[in-house]
Amino acid sequence: MSVFVRFIVPVLGLGQVVAFASSYYLLGVLADPIAADLGLDPAAPFAALSVAFLLSAVLTPWAGRLIERRGGRAVLAASHVLFAAALLIMATAPAPRVLLAGIAALGVGMAIGLYGTAFSVLVELRGAAARRPITAVSLIGALGGGVGWPISRLATEAWDWRAACLLWALAHLAVCLPLVLAVLPKRSRQDHPAPVPTAPVAWDRRMCRMAGIFACAWLVSTAMGAHLPRLLFDLGMDLDRAAWAAGLMAASAIAARLFDLVVLHRSHPVATARLAALLHPAGALVAAVAGPRFAAAVAVGQGAGNGLLSVASGVLPLHVFGPDRYAVRLAMILTPARYLQAVAPAAYALALDVSPGFALAASSAVCLLMFALTFGLRPVSGR
């Protein structure tokens, strides 16, 4: 296995780039061409994506149990097949209903193919020492939007939106799937000599706190991903500057992950989560005090905070509970976040309709709640 170790993080990271680019970020480029071609309301593809988020939330606990029984390698391989199947349905859809069903079907791949499964693979291989590999995979995966949007746009401009879907399906089947099967080690009986646990993992106060932290984080993250350019425009930036400034969110998220990988990897994960929770409110405060010229601070604060929290989502459960039953516990903790993610764009749109100041105050209040929930997180006794 030592021959393959140096390749595991890049393979997992590449898989996350393709998975996010072909699901979360896909409709940011394809929704308008799809709607125009099939005569749909432009909101219809996003409604189907909300169904995908809900489906992902429903299936997430099952995904954790599946990882525990079958191992992360088998589940990741299956996710690439399922992502490709949904994308092929979209690419070949003869009617709007079939297209919308294909978008919704992306939720099955999301349930078993995103960060939780990749992090579980690393914990299987490295145990309690998985923090830095988790950070590295999160860092590479953060390129999903920055890489996905341009590739989808280029494919659409060169051919059409169906070709873009086919291109991503091919990436899953011809690149990611073979790499997962070739590089990730198979689970052996020597690695797991004991029977797979079947007893349910019980919720406790620490799990509830973590679930609240990540539900708040995903609520704000998804809302910002959907509405940041509009928020910056409403704060007084012109459209071109708002679009440019919104791009700082992705750059800041990557920079924060890199900072964690190089500088914070020895810090207490709870302290990192607390810092992350305060970055969005800090950016909002700068924008409120300094005016439109500094509205981009919202994008920087949100991106940096989200970058650190994406690492924390994998590291905090490992720090508090250890590697035992990590996949099941992580899936349980992230399930509420997946439900809130589905309603976040619509909820934040209502807040923006009141005023941009009210919307920023609301998202900052959610982050401060997240900060408060970090208190009381302690490792299991003996750790």
Give residue-wise pLDDT tens across range 339-372: 888 788 778 888 888 998 999 999 999 999 999 9
pTM of structure: 0.80
Tokens 């992705």, located at residue: 250
* Whole-number pLDDT of residue 381: 47
CA 246, CA 140: separation in Å to the nearest integer? Answer: 20
Residue type, 73: R
The H helix count followed by the E strand count for the chain is 16, 0
Helical segments of 114-184, H only: 115-126, 131-141, 143-158, 161-170, 177-183
Angstrom CA distances, 61 to 56, 116, 363, stand at 9, 11, 27
**What residue spans in the chain does CATH classification 1.20.1250.20 cover?**
2-183, 205-373
Residue 368 buriedness (CB in 10 A; 0-12 / 13-18 / 19+): middle
Q: Which of 171, 149, 46, 152 has its CA nearest to residue 104?
A: 46
Neighbour tally for 340: CB within 10 Å: 21
Q: Which two three-digit tokens encode residue 238? A: 């012109």
User: Where does residue 173 rank: exposed (0-12), middle (13-18), buried (19+ CB within 10 A)?
Assistant: middle
Closest CA to 319 of 149, 34, 119, 103: 119
Statement: 205-373 belongs to CATH 3.30.450.20 = no
Kindly report the CATH number that applies to the domain delimited by 2-183.
1.20.1250.20
Low-confidence ranges of the chain (pLDDT < 50): 1-5, 189-190, 193-194, 381-383
189: buried, middle or exposed (CB in 10 Å: 19+, 13-18, 0-12)? Answer: exposed
Q: What pLDDT is recorded for position 193?
A: 47
Question: Tens digits of per-residue pLDDT, 157-189?
Answer: 889 999 999 999 999 999 999 999 988 887 654
